[in-house]
Amino acid sequence: MSDSDKSVQGHDINPAANQDGMSKGLTNYGDRGFSLFLRKAFIKGAGYTDRALDRPVIGITNTGSAYNPCHGNMPQLMEAVKRGIMMAGGLPMDFPTISIHESFSQPNSMFMRNLMSMDTEEMLRAAPMDAVVLIGGCDKTVPAQLMGAASAGLPAVQLITGSMLTGSHRSERVGACTDCRRYWGKFRAEEIDAEEIAEVNSQLVASVGTCSVMGTASTMACIAEALGMTVPGGASPPAVTADRMRVAEQSGALAVEIARKRLGIDQILTAKAFENAMRVLLSIGGSTNGIVHLTAIAGRMGFEIDLKALDRMGRETPVLLDLKPSGDHYMEDFHAAGGMATLLRELKPLLHLDAMTVTGRTLGEEIERAGPGFKQDVIRSASNPIYPQGGIAVLEGNLAPGGAIIKQSAAHPKLMEHEGRAVVFENLEDMANRIDSPDLDVNAEDILVLKNIGPKGAAMPEAGYMPIPRKLAKAGVKDIVRISDGRMSGTAFGTIVLHVTPESAVGGPLAYVQNGDRIRLSVANRELSLLVSAEELARRASQKKVETPTAQRGYRKLFLESVTQADQGVDFDFLMPPMTGGKIPKK
C-alpha cells in the first residue's frame, strides 16, 4: 500500500501507525483500518478538521446536572478547561457521566458512588483520549472519579468545582452545612420558630458550589491535592471566583502536558501519596467519610489501609485548620490564608516530600514553588494546634472487632470518656417513629444505638448523626453519645461513633445490643466495649437470626451482593484488584 493509500487528505488512517488520540481504543468491527476510517468520518461530521484530530485528545467529564447545584458552575469550568487544552495544543472532548448530589440521591449518595466510578472507568476505557480532566465536587463525585480513573489507568487531572460562598442571617455569617444542622437543632429544641428557620433556609447556601465548611466535599478537595492529583492550589478557590476559573484553565493545559509525557495515574497514586493524604485528612479535621473514600481509592491501586497504623499516625498529627465543624472559619477563609500550600508548609516534617505530583514535580518542589508563608489566623502552627491529635480516632473492642471511628476534634470532651445505658433503635424506621416520643426512656447520660444502617443494611447513609431526642433537646441537651454502623456528614459535629464493623446486617456484635446494656466509650484508650460477656453475646446470636437484605433485580441487587464493609472502602469486591501494594501507612 502506498503512502497515498494510507491517508485521506494527508491524514494517516493506519491505526497501526499511531495508538494515540483518535486511534486509541478502536471499536471492534474486525477491520482496524475501517474502524478508524469510520470514526473519523463521523467526527468530521461535527466539523472537526484533520489538523484538529492530530492533536492529543483530552477528555473532560461533564458532571453538570440540574439536580446538582454543587456543580452549578460547570459551564464556566468547561469553557476554561477547553481554553487551557487548546492553548496547550490539545483537542478537548467533553462527555457526560453520572452526577451525584448529596441531597438529591435516594436512598443516599453512597449507594450511587460505585456506580459513578464504574461509569467513569468504562467511559475512560471506551472513548479515545490521551488524558482526562475529571470535574467533580459534591461529596461522592471526587472519590468516584478517582476510583474510576485509578482502575482505568489513564493520565488524569482532578478539577474541583469549588466551595459556595457564605451567607448572612441577621448579621451572623452562615454556611452549609454545619450551620444547617445547628439551626435545625435550634428549631427542634423550639429555640427558634418556623418563621426564622424559613429565613435561614434562604441564606445558608449563598451560591452554587460545595459546602463552605470542612465537610466531605472540602475534605476530598484537600485530599485530591495532597495526593498530587490537582494543579497546585486547586483545592480551595470558591466556585464563583476568577481563581477557580484560572485553576480550570491550568488543569486543561496540564492534562495536555501529562498526555505528552505519558504520566500515568499509577505514578501519582503511590503509597507515599496516600500517606500524605492521610496526614492531611487528620490535620484538617476532615470528614470521617474521607477514610472510607481513601480506602476505596487506595484499594483500586492494590493498597490496603491499615486503620491501626492510621490511628498511630493520628496521635502525632495535630489538627491545624480552624474550620467548622472543628473550628470557626469557612473555606473562603482557608483560601485567603493560602490554602493547601500554607497547610502543607506546616506539615512538611510529616510528609513524603519526594512523592510525585501530576505536574511532574514532587510535593516538596511544589511547596517551595508556592513561596514563603504570610501572617494569617486560619491555619495554625504545629506548636499551637486547634486539637493536639488528628481529627479522627480509630476505636476497637468487642462491639467493633473490625474497628470504628470517631471525629474526636468535633466531639464533646466530657463525653469522650463515658459509660452509659444503651437506648437501641433497630433501624431507621424505628428511630423515626420513636426518637421524638415523649414516652422514650432516655436521659442525657444514655448512649443512642442505631442498627442496620451499614453498607448492606441501608447502603450506609449519613444517618449516624442521630438527632437529639426531642425531649432532651427541649431540656437544653446539645450532645449525647451516638453509635451506629453508618456514616455522618463531614459537616456534622458531636460525640458520634461511626462505621462499626462488621455491621449489624451481617451479624456483627452491634446486632445483638439490647436496651439497657452498658457500653463504655474511651477515646483515650481507643476503646468501644459492650459490657456483656462473650457467652451472653453468643447466646443472643444463637437465638436471633440476622437477615441480610436482598433484592431481586437491578443495581440494588448488584450492590447488596457485592459491597464490602467500611474497612474495605464500601467498594464492590469485583472492582478491587489483588492487594499487592501492601498496607499503608507503612509501619
What is residue 1's predicted lDDT score, i.e. its pLDDT? 38
Strand partners, 484: 450
Task: Give the C-alpha separation, 109 to 531, whole Å.
Answer: 35
Distance CA 365, CA 361 (A): 6
Cβ within 8 Å of residue 50, ≥6 positions away: 8, 9, 10, 11
Residue 3 carries which DSSP code?
Answer: T
Upstream peptide bond of 469 is cis (omega within 30 degrees of 0): no
Nearest CA to 403 among 498, 530, 333? 498
Mean pLDDT by 10 residues, the chain (587 residues): 40 59 92 93 96 96 97 98 98 98 96 98 97 97 98 98 97 95 94 97 97 96 98 98 98 98 97 98 96 98 96 96 95 98 97 98 98 95 94 97 96 96 98 96 98 98 96 96 96 96 98 98 98 97 94 98 98 96 88
- Residue 109 · residue 100 · CB < 8 Å: yes
Q: Could you tell me the fold of the domain covering 55-165+207-269+318-369?
A: Rossmann fold (3.40.50)
CA distance 217 to 138: 5
Tell me the C-alpha distance between 356 and 272, whole Å: 9
Task: Tell how strand 496-501 and strand 527-530 pair up.
Answer: unpaired
The pLDDT assigned to 13 comes to 56
Residue 153 to residue 141: CA distance in whole angstroms: 18
The distance in angstroms from the start CA to the end CA of the chain is: 60
Is the distance from CB of 214 to CB of 321 less than 8 angstroms?
Answer: yes
Q: What per-residue confidence (pLDDT) applies to 4?
A: 36
Distances (CA, A) of 106 to 1, 117, 265, 519: 58, 17, 32, 33
Helix ranges (DSSP H) in 3-140: 32-44, 50-53, 74-87, 109-126
528: enclosing H helix or E strand: strand 527-530
**Domain extents in the chain:** 4-52, 55-165+207-269+318-369, 167-201, 392-568
Distance between CA 46 and CA 39 in Å, rounded? 11
Query: What global pTM score does this model have?
Result: 0.95
Q: State the pLDDT at residue 256.
A: 98
Q: How large is the C-alpha radius of gyration of the chain?
A: 25
- Grid coordinates representing 314 are 493520628
User: pLDDT digit string (tens) for 152-162?
Assistant: 999 999 999 99
Q: pLDDT value at position 6?
A: 42
- 493-517 pLDDT, tens digit per residue, is 999 999 999 999 999 999 999 999 9
The percent helix, strand, coil of the chain (3-state, each to 5) is 40, 15, 45
Q: What's the CATH code, domain 392-568? A: 3.50.30.80
Distance CA 299, CA 303 (A): 5
Cβ contact 49:82 at 8 Å: no
Contact 416, 409 (CB under 8 A): no
Contact of 280 with 222, CB cutoff 8 Å: yes
Alpha-carbon distances, residue 485 vs 308, 451, 465, 549 (angstroms): 18, 7, 11, 15
Specify the residue for cell string 508556592.
Answer: 370
Dist. CA 94–CA 280, nearest whole Å: 31
Cell of 18: 499511531
pLDDT reported for residue 367: 98
CA distances from 497 to 97, 156, 203, 262 (A): 34, 35, 31, 43
Helix axes 141-152, 109-126, angle to 10 degrees: 30
Euclidean distance between CA atoms 14 and 17, whole angstroms: 6
d(CA 494, CA 189): 16
Pairing label, strands 91-96, 57-62: parallel
Q: What is the 3-state secondary structure (H, E, C) of 250-266?
A: HHHHHHHHHHHHCCCHH
The per-residue pLDDT for 19 is 77
Cβ proximity of 80 and 248 under 8 Å: yes
- Which residues are paired to 404 by β-bridges? 395
Report the DSSP pairing between strands 582-584 and 303-305: parallel
d(CA 583, CA 298): 10
Q: Going by C-beta distance under 8 Å and a sequence separation of 6 or more, which residues neighbour residue 24?
A: 57, 128, 129, 130
Lay out the sheet containing 57-62: strands in order across.
Answer: 91-96, 57-62, 131-136, 156-160
